[in-house]
Amino acid sequence: MTQYQRKRLSKGEYVDGILSGNRVVLSKAITLIESSATPDILLGEEILNTILPNTGGSKRIGITGVPGVGKSTFIETFGGLLTGSGHNLAVLTVDPSSQRTGGSILGDKTRMESLSNDLNAYIRPSPTGDSLGGVANKTRETLLLCEAAGFDIILIETVGVGQSETAVKGMVDFFLLLLLAGAGDELQGIKKGIMEMADAIVINKADGDNIQASKKAKIEFENALHLFPLSSSGWSPKVNLCSSVKNTGLEKVWSMILEYFNSVGEDWLKLQRQNQNVSWMKESISHLLKTGFYASPKVLKHLNSMEENVKVGQITPFSAARKLVDLG
Ligand code: GDP
């Protein structure tokens, strides 16, 4: 028996611990669902299905922006504002790049120093994984565990790399894009698709010499957002200014987020979550099929020779794929 197996709790212990808000048990449960060992996956699944009725009670907020825009400083200050007004806050990260360093526990702790010492906040570093899909799945499950543990606001940060914004957009109620006022060409460096996903843009570092440029950028972003089609929620994305270092503008950001929740209404939010869950199921189907395919001994036996046949033009890639899939 490995050390890890000995440390595993019973299903009841996990469930009771999570539902009573015990953070040690919550952390253990998250570690369990992050494991790729089959017994852990099965137990994790049972725990998630049991706590499912106790989930759904949080405001799920995604935050994105390129490295250096001030995400962790923003979350530190904004998070303090939320916990200071009585909220229980969980901060999760989707960072597909953390697989390279094997996690970022120390990084996240030092990045958000006061929040990590805040009794009303819980910071969970990004899981490691071999694909964005895997990392995102673990984050979705972690979100459910945190909700069952009683957190009423969940911030999910993404590092603004690759497709991680789309993954986070697919698991939150509200998606916030942090930007900076640039040197007159603010719109140049930002992918249009990300702006289109945003429910709000917040221009950070609106302090000191940067205030005027930030005000100008606000107008430009507002104009740019007007060009996008209106969301089915009826909400038109807003642009705000803030300074995470000087702690200005953050209360306004929070009241804007609350305005969003009021404005779109519970029915629409429920529908959005239903659609997100169906997408999650479909993604999981693809993931499971792919994993099962590559684990099949028959496929493994023929994969290399089929690759060679494709290389020398003996068979079309499509036919080769179909033959292999038929084997699996
Ligand atoms: P991240 O990579 O997006 O998480 O960015 P960080 O939070 O690490 O911030 C990057 C740098 O910008 C740090 O040196 C911060 O101190 C600085 N910074 C963050 N927010 C502000 C702000 O509101 N105003 C100013 N002047 N600097 C900021």
Mutate to test the pocket of ligand 1, among 64, 69, 71, 73 (most ligand atoms within 8 A of CB): 73
Residue 189 confidence (pLDDT): 57
Residue 80: CB within 6 Å of ligand 1? no
Percent of the chain with pLDDT over 70: 90
Query: Could you tell me which residues are beta bridge partners of residue 62?
Result: 156, 175
pLDDT band at 95 (very low <50, low <70, confident <90, very high): confident
pTM of the predicted structure, to 2 decimals: 0.90
| Alpha carbon of 191 to ligand 1 centroid (Å) | 21
Separation CA 92–CA 124 (nearest Å)? 5
pLDDT of residue 190: 65
Q: With H, G, I as helix, E, B as strand and everything else as coil, classify residue 177.
A: strand
Question: Quick one: pLDDT at residue 13?
Answer: 97
Q: Pick the closest to residue 194 from 220, 218, 163, 223 (CA basis).
A: 163
Ligand 1 neighbourhood includes 8 CB (under 6 angstroms):
no
Protein residue with its CA nearest to atom 17 in ligand 1? 70
Q: How far apart are the first and last CA of the chain?
A: 33
CA neighbor of 171 nearest in space, from 31, 61, 312: 61
All structural domains of the chain? 1-54 (1.20.5), 55-264 (3.40.50.300), 283-327 (no CATH)
Measured in angstroms, how far is the CA atom of residue 72 from the centroid of ligand 1? 7
Amino acid occupying residue 167: A
Instruction: Report, as an integer, the average pLDDT of 35-41.
Output: 91
Q: Is 243 in the pocket of ligand 1 (CB under 6 A)?
A: yes
Please tell me which residue, 211 or 193, carries the higher pLDDT value: 211
Cα(212) to ligand 1 centroid in Å equals: 18
Q: Ligand 1 centroid vs 180 CA: distance in angstroms?
A: 10
pLDDT tens figures, 202-220: 999 999 999 999 999 999 8
Determine whether 207 is exposed, middle or buried from the number of CB atoms within 10 Å of its CB (0-12, 13-18, 19+): middle
**Which residue among 245, 246, 247, 250 has the greatest number of ligand 1 atoms within 8 angstroms of its CB, and so is best to mutate?**
245
Cα Rg of the chain, angstroms: 22
Average pLDDT, the chain: 89
pLDDT of residue 98: 56
The Cβ-side half-sphere exposure at 18, using a 13 Å CA radius, reads 31
Give whole-number Cα distances, 311 to 161, 304, 306, 307, 315, in Å: 33, 11, 9, 6, 9
CA dist., res. 300 & res. 304, Å (int): 8
102 CA to middle of ligand 1, Å? 24
Confidence band, pLDDT 50/70/90 cuts, at residue 6 = low
Q: Atom of ligand 1 at shortest distance to CA of 69?
A: 3
Nearest to 122 by CA among 53, 71, 75: 75
Rounded CA-CA distance 303/322 in Å is: 12
Residue 69 beta carbon below 6 angstroms from any ligand 1 atom: yes
Q: Whose CA is nearest to atom 22 of ligand 1?
A: 205
Question: Quick one: pLDDT band at residue 105, thresholds 50, 70, 90?
Answer: very low
Atom of ligand 1 nearest to the CA of 243: 23
- 247 touches ligand 1 (CB under 6 Å): no
pLDDT of residue 318: 97
SS3 235: coil
Distance (Å) from CA 73 to ligand 1 centroid: 6
**Residue 184 confidence (pLDDT):** 46
pLDDT digits over 252-267, tens only? 999 999 999 999 999 9
Q: Is 107 in the pocket of ligand 1 (CB under 6 A)?
A: no
Mind listing the pLDDT tens digit for each residue in 49-77? 999 999 999 999 999 988 888 999 999 99
206 C-alpha vs ligand 1 centroid, how far in Å?
11
What is the residue with the minimal CA distance to atom 18 of ligand 1? 70
